[in-house]
């Protein structure tokens, strides 16, 4: 039983990591129905900037928590800038273009960001400085660390904040109006371009926070870390119903738990014919099953046939 | 928009300029230019190891140029053509052909077994010798191809070495084995499993991640329930670091043990104090044990320490150059027989090849991690285990040999 | 002068003369390339394989409008069918003309298997499910070395037989008519012959009843159904026909490389093929071919030019060539798509749509 509880904790944390990144995907998708495939790279940039800042400030003697906050404080504006530039140069020129065109520019942007990062931060996997002492808490035979608790809390806070922004503020109203019908929103005096750019910038800020958290949790940052994370987070967003904010959270957590339980138990359940080597297969089968039964994700709206 | 047009112009200009460059390639006839290829992934997940490989070969070539070696009565300029195979067999074949077209005299590489095996067909077909400093899969030299060499130990030498050491010194009853689903990781893990099973140790069902996995908690939690005495992982450093860190976080009380891909000082950085007590093996003698002269030269030239295989690629390049020197020719038909029979004191010890092209009596080194640094504790050669201090004392200091050349 | 050219163009034999010039150029191409370097013949062969893949995917994405991010699975299936039936792995050595159709058929079967459960899905949801299928196929290939060794796992299968036709071994050099035909050159001619057949099939498909049915589904599925199109069957047909081309390409890849391993069939490969289709111009056979050729060649041309160009411009290496190569490639993707959102050579239908959408 204690093993099971531990596996659920593992899954929840992994899921929260996915969810943090998935929120960025889903928010952009919700507004302009575009999969920002380069989102994972923005997460990576966030982690890398934080790496440099922490490395520079670590010898200064400031309290560790303050250093991490400063690092996040530097990573967020850098990522926002990257997000804005991305939207302005690679996506805005393609409004009204065939739906797959932005997919290609997104791949281009990913390649560019990865190799710029390679130039700046080298090819080496970087050991992310562990300056905050990690506390472990034990209960019912399972272990949870302070970083895991922080990740769970921050992802929930991010989800709640984002939901509040979209559903409770004037800006959110403008976002939803733009998502619904950009032309009509324009007639109501909403500058659609500005709203979309803002969406990207907010998404990039979320990515920065996710990057800092992911890198401190695993203790490693690498210029290619974004693509794998982005892919899983994208799956999570789709699983939950892409465009839906609580859906991203639900999808992320579900994917994380399925992966953890898959790695933990399929070996025993199948007499070791399948083991943790089929962990991803297991996750994808759940994903496919959910989508075949609910073609627009767990919490996604039933889209019309012409969507 | 104006800026984007400028971009096009810039690209066009570069292509144009390079086209002009081709024409001017004609060299002054007084010197003999010999091209040596170096292939490793320079982009992608293990690009840092690839660059390390390239650096090793580059250092050898630059030293040879500084030494003003004469071959065939002419002053010789060696040129290193470094290529990026992106860890992809398809790209590997293309760059192999590119090197063959460029009429290289020999090739140092590739890094991965997965790219070395298909590319070796192309080199061998063109009668160009290749020496890999890092591809450890036995299949590479088992196919009877001419001119395929390796200066590093094979998986079926390294696996048994680390497994036997583990059995003799930790005396485990139950061992868990994890791999990263790559040709290297799984191949090495299989060899370890064979040796352990033969020694009567109980091996748990294989666990697996990927070469990008950073979250090992689910696998480790499952293992914790089985309470193994030791955990062996076949994979590279960027995945092994998180594995080690999370293992300790979850309180897995087992000796962790890695192969050469994860036997680097990086482990201490990634996992902090959790890395202490790690046992790992390297195919060959440790970089620290490589000749002092090499280490100093590397540090001076690249402003960093070698990561993993640089001493081997350094030796591989030097072997090519030495064989050419002894044969007094850069023609593979002339120097290949010399290379086959060579006896060379390199940065990684004495090197000679068996008839397959594998290094005779390749050493294996066992390390342990202490205070964030890897310390060599034992050298295994021809099935015999020697304590590291004894090895250093009895070895005739490879540095002195190298200085002689 | 211009008048005489116009008159030449109107001449009834003009199309034939044009075709003859193109044919001659294609026949002479490998020798011209080999003069620069045999590597270029290999690159061309790979480019032709990517043309097969892109044309296959174009049926699914371009004609029928179904975004498939797992297309590489069919390529993998074709490659492994060939590798298993023509290598020492099982000791089976069937001739290629027996295995290639078999590989194509197995790939088509996989197409139906993947297509059937996903018929209800649209757009991005379909994309993610196909992506999942692609990964599942690769993971199985990677793991089916236990409990029974079928695929030899990540070690891959080596020593795969080359094509043999009569006494001609495609991996060795031969002399005909005083010309030296190296292995890659022989494969080039074979690929060229298959390429012509594949292009012919695709062009005919596009204008056929089925092609129009696909287009109708792409434009409006409900309307298509109302017009009496059996959308289920037609969609499945798109998946299986697309997969067939992937299977053939895979078999040929296997023979040309002599080695397959799961590493060659990763997601990035699928994304690359989608990029070729979209960049070239979805739905237009010629555009797709252009996209595949460009995306295969540009990175290689950069590989050959970046280093000397830098040395020429600055006298030394300032930025490592592999980094620049990837940066230029990334910028080129962004630039081309923003300048020509419909692709380099869009289909006429798409062009009309784009024009309509402009305010």
> What tens digit of pLDDT does each residue of A236-264 get?
998 998 888 999 999 999 999 999 999 98
Q: Would the CB atoms of C39 and B98 count as touching at under 8 Å?
A: yes
The verdict on residue A306 lying in a domain is no
Please, which residues 139-158 of chain C have a Cβ atom closer than 8 Å to chain B? 142-143, 146, 153-156, 158
Ranking A94-108, B3-17, B32-46 by mean pLDDT, the lowest is B3-17
Asked if the C-beta of C113 comes within 8 angstroms of chain B's C-beta atoms, the answer is no
Tell me the C-alpha distance between C210 and C229, whole Å.
Answer: 10
Residue A302 placed within a domain: no
Q: Which domain holds residue B174?
A: 156-283+364-404
* Residues A27-64 pLDDT 10s: 988 888 888 889 999 999 999 999 999 999 988 888 98
How many contacts, defined by CB atoms under 8 Å, are there between B and C?
A: 113
Q: Strands B174-179 and B130-132: what pairing? A: unpaired
In a domain, B3, yes or no: no
> What's the rounded Cα separation, in Å, for the pair A118 and C321?
12
Q: Is residue A90 part of a domain?
A: yes
**Residue B244 and residue B392 share a domain:** yes
Beta-carbon-side half-sphere exposure of residue B384 (alpha carbons within 13 Å): 8
**Domain match, B36 and B48 both:** yes
Question: Which of B56-65, C5-14, C272-281 bottoms out in mean pLDDT, i.e. has the lowest?
Answer: C5-14
CB contact under 8 A, A127 and B218: no
The answer, for A96 touching chain C at a CB cutoff of 8 Å, is: yes
Residue C353 banded pLDDT, cuts 50, 70, 90: low
**Minimal C-alpha gap between A37 and chain C (Å):** 11
The pLDDT, as a whole number, for residue A255 is 94
Confidence of residue C177 (pLDDT cuts 50, 70, 90): confident
Q: What is the pTM of this model?
A: 0.88
The pair of three-digit structure tokens given for residue A234, joined into one six-digit string: 């994208």
Answer yes or no: do B386 and B250 share one domain: yes
Burial of C239 (0-12, 13-18, 19+ CB in 10 A): buried
Nearest CA in chain C to A278: C139
**How many domains does one find in chain C?**
1
B279 and B300 share one domain: no
Evaluate whether residue B15 is within a structural domain: no
Per the DSSP assignment, residues forming a β-bridge with B373 are B370
pLDDT (mean) for C222-251: 93
At residue B98, the pLDDT reads: 92
C156 pLDDT band (50/70/90 cuts)? confident
Q: What is the pLDDT of residue B80?
A: 93
Cβ neighbours, 10 Å, residue C70: 23
In a domain, C238, yes or no: yes
Instruction: Assess whether B121 and B268 both reside in one domain.
Output: no
Same domain (yes/no): B276, B304: no
> What pLDDT sits at residue A292?
85
C154:B117 CB<8 A = no
- Mean of pLDDT values over B132-150: 90
pLDDT of residue C320: 77
Instruction: Between B106 and B14, name the one with better pLDDT.
Output: B106
The per-residue pLDDT for C350 is: 64
Range of the domain at C228: 32-278
- Asked, for residue B16, whether it belongs to a domain, the answer is no
State whether B116 and B202 are in the same domain: no
Average pLDDT of the residues in C4-11: 73
| CATH number of the domain enclosing B338 | 3.40.50.2300
The pLDDT assigned to C7 comes to 74
Q: Give the distance, in angstroms, between the CA of residue C204 and the centroid of all CA atoms in the same chain.
A: 18
Hey, is the C-beta of A276 within 8 angstroms of any chain B C-beta? yes
Kindly report the CATH number assigned to the domain that includes residue C199: 1.10.3470
Q: What is the pLDDT of residues C22-73, one digit of tens each?
A: 889 988 898 888 888 889 999 999 999 999 999 999 999 999 989 899 999 9
Could you tell me if B59 and B147 lie in one domain?
yes
Per residue in B45-63, pLDDT tens?
788 889 999 999 999 999 9
Question: What does pLDDT average to over chain A?
Answer: 90
Number of domains in chain B: 2
Share of chain A above pLDDT 90, in %: 58
- On whether residue A96 sits in a domain, the answer given is yes
Q: Is residue C168 part of a domain?
A: yes
Tens of pLDDT, residues B375-387: 888 888 777 888 8
pLDDT-derived band at B16, boundaries 50, 70, 90:
very low
Lowest mean pLDDT, pick from A6-10, A271-275, C352-356: C352-356
For residue B227, count other CB atoms closer than 10 A to its CB.
13
Question: How far, CA to CA in Å, does A106 sit from each of A101, A226, A227, B318, C337?
Answer: 9, 13, 12, 45, 10
Q: Say yes or no to pLDDT of A294 above 70.
A: yes
**Residue C292 covered by a domain:** no
Looking at residue C1, its pLDDT comes to 54
Structural domain tally of chain A? 1
Model confidence band, residue C118 (pLDDT cutoffs 50, 70, 90): confident
Could you tell me if residue C319 is inside a domain? Answer: no
Instruction: Kindly report which listed range (B137-141, B142-146, C5-9) carries the lowest average pLDDT score.
Output: C5-9
Number of H helices, E strands in chain A: 11, 4
Q: Is A152 inside any structural domain?
A: yes
Assess if residue A307 is contained within a domain.
no
* Closest to A163 measured CA to CA, from A103, A231, A248, A222: A248
Please indicate, yes or no, whether residues B178 and B246 belong to a single structural domain of this protein.
yes
Mean pLDDT value of segment B205-216: 90
Chain A residue with CA closest to B251: the answer is: A143
In this predicted model, what pLDDT tens digit does every residue of B70-103 receive, in sequence order?
888 888 999 999 999 988 888 899 999 999 999 9
> Are B276 and B395 members of one domain?
yes
Pairing type for strands C174-176 and C179-181 reads: antiparallel
| Residue numbers in C near A282 (CB within 8 A) | none
């Amino acid at each position: 039983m204690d093993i099971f509880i531990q596996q659920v904790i593992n899954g929840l944390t992994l899921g929260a990591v996915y969810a943090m990144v998935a929120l960025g995907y889903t928010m952009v998708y919700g507004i302009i129905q575009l999969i920002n495939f380069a989102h994972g790279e923005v997460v990576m940039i966030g982690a890398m900037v934080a790496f440099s800042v922490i490395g520079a400030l670590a010898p200064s003697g400031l309290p560790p928590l303050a250093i991490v906050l400063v690092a996040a404080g530097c990573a967020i504006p850098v990522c926002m800038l990257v997000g804005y530039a991305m939207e302005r140069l690679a996506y805005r020129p393609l409004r009204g273009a065939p739906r797959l065109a932005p997919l290609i520019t997104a791949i281009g942007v990913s390649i560019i960001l990865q190799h710029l990062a390679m130039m700046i931060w080298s090819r080496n996997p970087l050991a992310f400085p562990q300056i905050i002492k990690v506390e472990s808490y034990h209960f019912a035979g399972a272990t949870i660390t302070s970083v895991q608790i922080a990740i769970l809390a921050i992802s929930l806070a991010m989800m709640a904040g984002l939901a509040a922004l979209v559903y409770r503020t004037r800006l959110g109203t403008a976002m939803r109006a733009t998502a619904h019908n950009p032309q009509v929103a324009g007639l109501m005096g909403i500058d659609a371009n500005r709203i979309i750019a803002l969406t990207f910038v907010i998404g990039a800020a979320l990515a920065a926070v996710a990057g800092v958290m992911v890198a401190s949790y695993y203790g490693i940052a690498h210029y290619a870390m974004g693509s794998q994370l982005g892919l899983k987070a994208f799956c999570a967003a789709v699983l939950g119903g892409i465009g839906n904010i609580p859906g991203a959270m639900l999808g992320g957590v579900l994917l994380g738990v399925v992966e953890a339980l898959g790695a933990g138990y399929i070996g025993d359940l199948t007499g070791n014919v399948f083991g943790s080597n089929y962990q991803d297969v297991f996750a994808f089968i759940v994903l496919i099953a959910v989508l075949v039964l609910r073609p627009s994700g767990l919490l996604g709206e039933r889209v019309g046939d012409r969507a | 928009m104006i800026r984007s047009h400028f971009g096009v112009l810039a690209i066009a200009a570069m292509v144009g300029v390079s086209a002009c460059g081709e024409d001017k390639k004609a060299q002054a006839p007084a010197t003999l230019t010999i091209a040596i290829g170096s292939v490793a992934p320079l982009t992608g997940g293990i690009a840092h190891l690839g660059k390390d490989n390239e650096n090793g070969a580059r250092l050898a070539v630059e030293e040879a140029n500084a030494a003003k070696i004469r071959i065939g009565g002419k002053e010789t300029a060696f040129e290193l053509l470094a290529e990026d195979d992106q860890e992809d067999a398809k790209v590997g074949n293309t760059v192999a052909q590119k090197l063959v077209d460029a009429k290289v005299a020999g090739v140092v590489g590739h890094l991965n077994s997965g790219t070395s095996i298909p590319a070796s067909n192309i080199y061998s077909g063109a009668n160009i010798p290749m020496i890999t400093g890092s591809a450890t899969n036995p299949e590479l030299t088992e196919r009877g191809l001419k001119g395929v060499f390796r200066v590093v130990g094979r998986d079926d030498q390294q696996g048994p070495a680390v497994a036997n050491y583990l059995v003799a010194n930790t005396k485990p009853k139950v061992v868990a084995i994890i791999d990263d689903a790559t040709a290297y990781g799984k191949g090495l893990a299989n060899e370890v499993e064979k040796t352990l099973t033969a020694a009567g140790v109980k091996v748990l069902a294989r666990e697996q991640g990927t070469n990008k996995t950073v979250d090992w908690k689910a696998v480790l939690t499952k293992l914790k329930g089985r309470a193994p005495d030791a955990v062996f992982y076949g994979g590279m450093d960027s995945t092994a670091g998180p594995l080690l860190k999370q293992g300790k976080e979850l309180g897995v009380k087992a000796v962790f043990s890695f192969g050469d891909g994860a036997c680097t000082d990086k482990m201490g950085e990634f996992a902090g104090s959790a890395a202490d007590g790690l046992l790992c093996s390297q195919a060959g003698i440790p970089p620290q044990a490589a000749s002092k002269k090499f280490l100093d030269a590397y540090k001076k030239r690249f402003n960093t320490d070698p990561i993993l295989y640089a001493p081997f690629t350094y030796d591989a390049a030097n072997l090519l150059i030495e064989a050419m020197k002894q044969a007094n020719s850069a023609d593979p038909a002339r120097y290949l027989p010399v290379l086959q029979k060579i006896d060379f004191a390199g940065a990684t010890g004495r090197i000679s090849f068996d008839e397959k092209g594998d290094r005779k009596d390749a050493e294996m080194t066992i390390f342990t991690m202490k205070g964030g640094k890897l310390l060599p504790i034992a050298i295994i050669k021809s099935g015999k285990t020697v304590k590291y201090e004894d090895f250093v004392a009895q070895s005739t200091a490879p540095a002195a040999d190298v200085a002689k050349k | 002068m211009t008048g005489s050219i116009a008159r030449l163009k109107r001449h009834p034999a003009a199309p034939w003369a044009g075709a003859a010039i193109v044919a001659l150029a294609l026949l002479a191409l490998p020798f011209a390339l080999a003069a620069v370097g045999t590597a270029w013949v290999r690159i061309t062969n790979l480019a032709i394989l990517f043309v097969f893949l892109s044309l296959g995917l174009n049926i699914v994405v371009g004609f029928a409008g179904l975004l498939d991010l797992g297309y590489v699975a069919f390529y993998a299936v074709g490659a492994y069918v060939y590798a298993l039936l023509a290598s020492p792995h099982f000791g089976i050595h069937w001739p290629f003309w027996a295995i290639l159709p078999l590989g194509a058929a197995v790939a088509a079967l996989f197409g139906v298997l993947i297509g059937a459960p996903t018929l209800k899905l649209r757009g991005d949801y379909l994309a993610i499910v196909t992506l999942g299928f692609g990964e599942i196929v690769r993971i199985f290939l990677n793991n089916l070395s236990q409990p029974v060794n079928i695929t030899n796992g990540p070690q891959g299968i080596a020593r795969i037989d080359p094509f043999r036709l009569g006494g001609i071994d495609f991996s060795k050099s031969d002399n005909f008519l005083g010309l030296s035909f190296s292995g890659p050159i022989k494969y080039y001619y074979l690929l060229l012959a298959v390429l012509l057949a594949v292009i012919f099939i695709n062009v005919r498909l596009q204008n056929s009843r089925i092609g129009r049915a696909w287009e109708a589904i792409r434009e409006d599925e409900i309307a298509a159904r109302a017009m009496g199109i059996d959308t289920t069957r037609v969609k499945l047909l798109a998946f299986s026909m697309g997969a067939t081309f992937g299977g053939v390409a895979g078999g040929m890849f296997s023979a040309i490389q002599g080695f397959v391993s799961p590493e060659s069939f990763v997601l990035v490969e699928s994304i690359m093929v989608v990029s070729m289709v979209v960049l070239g111009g979805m739905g237009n056979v010629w555009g797709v071919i252009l996209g595949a050729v460009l995306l295969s060649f540009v990175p290689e041309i950069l590989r050959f030019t970046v280093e000397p160009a830098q040395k020429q411009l600055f006298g030394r290496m300032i930025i490592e060539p592999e980094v620049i190569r990837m940066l230029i490639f990334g910028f080129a993707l962004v630039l081309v798509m923003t300048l020509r959102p419909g692709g380099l050579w869009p289909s006429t239908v798409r062009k009309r749509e784009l024009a309509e959408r402009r305010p």
